[in-house]
Amino acid sequence: MGPGRGRTRQTEIYLRGLGGERPAVPVQLADLQEAARRTLGAAEFAYIAGGAGAERTLRANLAAFERVQLVPRMLSGTKERDLSVELLGQRLASPLLLAPIGVLESARPEADLAVARAAAAEQVPFVFSSQASVPMETCAAAMGAAPRWFQLYWSSDDEVTRSLIRRAEACGASALVLTLDTTLLGWRPRDLDLGSLPFLRGQGLAQYLSDPVFRSRLGQAMPLPSVRPPVTPQLLSTAAQLRAKGKTFGLSLKEMQRAAARFTATYSRPDLGWDDLDRLRGWTRLPIILKGVLHPDDAREAARRGVDGLIVSNHGGRQLDGAVASLDALPDVVAAVPGMPVLLDSGVRTGSDIAKALALGAQAVLLGRPYVYGLALGGEAGVRAVIQNLLAEFDLTLGLLGVGAAREVGPQHLR
């Protein structure tokens, strides 16, 4: 892809600035996060920004990127950069995807729908979360032919799991991401101290509330908020207003807590094992990607089981506190599964971070919290601005490294 074609260049952003135009969202990461903090309620910000335990892994993810050092090459004679990469037989416009993020209504009522539109406009694949606030069908319909994947939490009810997979296929998802690190929800002190877990208040349930199998098998026992599909942004903002008044879809606190306990017992299966993967293989022809792999032996087992790809991730430091930083875990995982696509998330914040992950063997990266801050600040336009800034910086990084294409970044660019 040549300069300026379908993507924002760093020069364009500078030129806007020289014309006196301020960026739609802060370019500096700390300012982006701080602006989002001021916009959001305390509980919402805590949930999005927070990590597990003492947040050691949350910090380690960032520290790992601080330590890796790039070594640029001079006089490479390259002029144009090709950001595209090949992944699972598909061509991605750049080695960037939007990570699955649950409960996006905690950032803004349009939630997943605004992110879907931004992702489509910027040609960045969006991984729909199982814990989304807008049903996948609504997001898919807003994306045209733009690429989307589906992230699965394996429900304790296999029929619910299979129904979600069928819907993802029907929605045009081109891969299934099975998240392995959240079969139990992490210990989240910020949420605990605020007495607030957004999803326990009935948020982030749109995939389930819109699922016929979930409703018929588990709906009665739950008791479910009385939301009928399609869950529209309007409906969500009504729900937000209700919650602000201390009512949750007309349910009392006790009823809501019972529903929440039931939900946590349902959304995932803590006893998921390797043999379950063989069954999953039989349920879908979509490529299966495991998210949350950090140990090379798990990577090797995944390869033996016919898995198509891995995402090296610690869930953005939200699950096992003390877990190894994703970037530190990456090289051993890559070495363990030659030829298998390995992606990375957790701590990607800048264009040069993308280059570091590629240099250490990742095929692509997923962006987490920064796009949620963009969503909080500016809805669809805010998400687009975050993506544009990141990709413009990545493009510039390639130029300064002296490479003409994203796929050429390798260990030769590391100290």
Ligand X SMILES: Cc1cc2nc3c(=O)[nH]c(=O)nc-3n(C[C@H](O)[C@H](O)[C@H](O)COP(=O)(O)O)c2cc1C
Ligand Y SMILES: O=C(O)C(=O)c1ccccc1
Give the whole-angstrom CA distance, residue 143 versus residue 16: 28
Residues of span 176-195 touching ligand X by CB under 6 A: 179
295 as an active site residue: the answer is no
> Should residue 61 be labelled a site residue for ligand Y when binding is judged by CB under 6 A?
no
The option from ligand Y, ligand X, none interacting with 313 (CB < 5 to 8 A, set by class) reads ligand X
Q: Which stretch binds ligand X (CB under 6 A): 13-21, 184-192, 264-272, 311-319?
A: 311-319
Q: Which is nearer to ligand X, 330 or 367 (CB)?
A: 367
Q: Residue with CB nearest ligand Y?
A: 102
Contact with ligand Y (CB under 6 A) among 8, 106, 123, 131? 131
Select the binding partner of residue 348 from ligand X, ligand Y, none (C-beta < 5 to 8 A, by kind): ligand X
Of positions 26, 95, 135, 204, contacts ligand Y by CB under 6 A: 204
- φ/ψ (deg, to 5) at 89: 75, 5
The verdict on 363 binding ligand X (CB under 6 A) reads no
Establish if 207 lies at the interface with ligand X (CB under 6 A): no
Of 43, 30, 55, the residue nearest 317 (C-alpha):
55
Residue 185 interacting partner from ligand X, ligand Y, none (CB closer than 5 to 8 Å by kind): ligand Y
Binding mask 270-309 for ligand X (x = CB under 6 A): ---------------------x------------------
Measured from the CB atom, the residue of 181 and 353 that comes closer to ligand Y is 181
Enter the DSSP assignment of 70: B
369 interacts with ligand X by CB under 6 A:
yes
99 lines the binding site for ligand X (CB under 6 A): yes
> If binding is defined by CB under 6 A, does position 198 make contact with ligand X?
no
Cα–Cα distances (Å) from 41 to 51, 113, 196, 226, in that order, read: 17, 21, 11, 25
Q: What Å distances lie between residue 236 and 105, 108, 273, CA to CA?
A: 8, 10, 36
User: Are the CB atoms for 149 and 97 separated by under 8 Å?
Assistant: yes
CA distance 287 to 147: 14
Nearest alpha carbon to residue 373 among 28, 13, 12: 28
Q: Which one, of 128, 151, 263, 153, lies nearest residue 198 by Cα?
A: 263
Considering 7, 117, 201, 315, which one is annotated as catalytic? 315
How near is the Cβ of 48 to ligand Y at its closest, in Å? 9
> DSSP for 261-317?
HHHHHHH--TT--HHHHHHHHHH--S-EEEES--SHHHHHHHHHTT--EEEE--GGG
C-alpha to C-alpha distance for 138 and 148, rounded to whole angstroms: 12
Q: Considering only 134-142, 167-175, 237-245, 365-373, which stretch makes contact with ligand X by CB under 6 A?
A: 365-373
Is 129 annotated to bind a ligand? Reply is yes
Distant-in-sequence, close-in-space partners of 13: CB < 8 Å, separation ≥ 6: 23, 27, 388, 389, 392
Per the CB < 8 A criterion, the answer to whether 130 and 136 are in contact is no
The H or E element that residue 355 is part of is helix 351-359
- What length is written for the chain? 415
336 contacts which partner out of ligand Y, ligand X, none, CB within 5 to 8 A by kind? none
C-beta separation of 291 from 177 below 8 A: yes
CB of 36 to ligand X, least distance (A): 12
- Residue 96 has phi, psi (to 5 degrees) of -135, 135
Which positions touch ligand X (CB under 6 A)?
47-48, 61, 99-102, 129-131, 151, 179, 291, 313, 315-316, 318, 345-348, 367-369
Annotated binding-site positions: 47, 100-102, 129, 151, 153, 179, 188, 291, 313, 315, 318, 345-349, 368-369
Give catalytic residues, as residue numbers: 315
Which positions touch ligand Y (CB under 6 A)?
102-103, 131, 182, 185, 199, 204, 267, 315, 318
